[in-house]
Amino acid sequence: MTSMFSSRLSLLGRGALTAAAVALLATGCNQQAKPAPTKAATPAATKAAAAPAAAAAPAAAGTAADCTTLAGNICKAAGETSNECKSIQTATKLLPPAACKAALGDTAYTTKRLGEMGKACADLVKKLCADLGPGTATCKMVTEKTPGFGADRCNKMLGDYAKVLGQLKQMEAANKPLSADKLAKIAAPGGGAFGPKDAKVTIVEFSDFQCPYCTRAATAMTALKKKYGTKVRFVFRQFPLSFHKQAHLAAQASLAANAQGKFWEYHDLLFANQKALGRPDLEKYATKLGLDMAKFKAALDKGTYKAAVDADMKLGQSVAVRGTPTMIINGTRAQNAADATALGKQIDALLAAK
């Protein structure tokens, strides 16, 4: 416990800790030592001696706010998600306020140590951007996010550099704009779609009805449909992930609903009831929408739309879709498919372009 606690304090200045320790030891001695016999002091002398002590006491004591400030300062410098941030947040819960106050007076040491510990992350960013290309979107992402990783994580990534670089190169390749031919293939009719085929902006989403993140993307998509109406074309593609056991049948059911003109209504019901996607649930939603249940059940029994779902998945794989939701706007992959505001800005720029 002692060594662990000590390691969490390694960022704090030695002088700061020494000062805090002296203050704490002085307090302890005052509480435990028996006073030595002394000559009686005059009232004036007693008052004069007490004044400096009274003035000094508040400065040594510190407050809980000092510990909060200390943790906040270090987390801001080290990165909110770094191990250093987590460690100092834990440590300041254990430190006496006097120690936090003393440490705040020696921030130069802390800043220096963070700089030394952050060197691994700086080296990682420099190396990755040199190999990926300094002007790439992936280099920009690495530059923005890596400083918050912390020294331990950056050192591990440097130790497994070839694998990290390989994964990021795959990401960079996936982020490149699609050719007109590939965009036309994924935006072709065949599944759920909304908006004119000749719209200036086309959004293609690869999604999984059992994916919780896709629910957020569906909410964003609904907001965008309301905002842009016929200015934008929306195309929904099926991409049920293998570990979501109910997703493939749900995808087939949505296409069975699409055959009866109710794709988007059924789409909304599936995402609204994502934890209930068994066969009885799928039939219940179809009944609620007034679908022809004989046709709907027959489609599921015969696997009528299984091949169509699989074809959508192959389309996704052809454009490097590996997870859901993946949203592609005019051939460019959206960075956050669940953020309606960010997506709106991207759409506005495309609509405004000549």
The tens digit of pLDDT for each residue in 55-75 reads 444 446 889 999 999 999 888
What CATH number was assigned to the domain covering residues 180-352? 3.40.30.10
Give the pLDDT of residue 44: 53
Give the pLDDT of residue 29: 34
**Residue 20 above 60 pLDDT?**
no
pLDDT above 70 coverage of the chain, percent = 83
Reported for 313-322, long-range contacts at CB under 8 A and 24+ positions apart, including other chains, are 313/238, 313/239, 313/240, 315/185, 315/186, 315/237, 316/186, 316/206, 316/237, 316/239, 318/182, 318/185, 319/174, 319/178, 319/182, 319/186, 320/170, 320/173, 320/174, 321/206, 321/239, 322/174
C-beta separation of 153 from 78 below 8 A: no
- The whole-number average pLDDT for the span 140-144 is 90
- The whole-number average pLDDT for the span 13-32 is 34
Give the pLDDT of residue 83: 73
The tens digit of pLDDT for each residue in 265-275 reads 999 999 999 99
Give the pLDDT of residue 54: 46
Considering the chain, what is the average pLDDT of its residues? Answer: 84
- The whole-number average pLDDT for the span 23-32 is 33
- The whole-number average pLDDT for the span 321-348 is 93
C-beta separation of 108 from 142 below 8 A: no
Domain ranges of the chain: 1-20+58-116, 119-175, 180-352
C-beta separation of 344 from 332 below 8 A: no
**Residue 234 above 90 pLDDT?**
yes
Question: What is the value of pTM for the model shown?
Answer: 0.62
| Cα 32 from Cα 103, distance rounded (Å) | 26
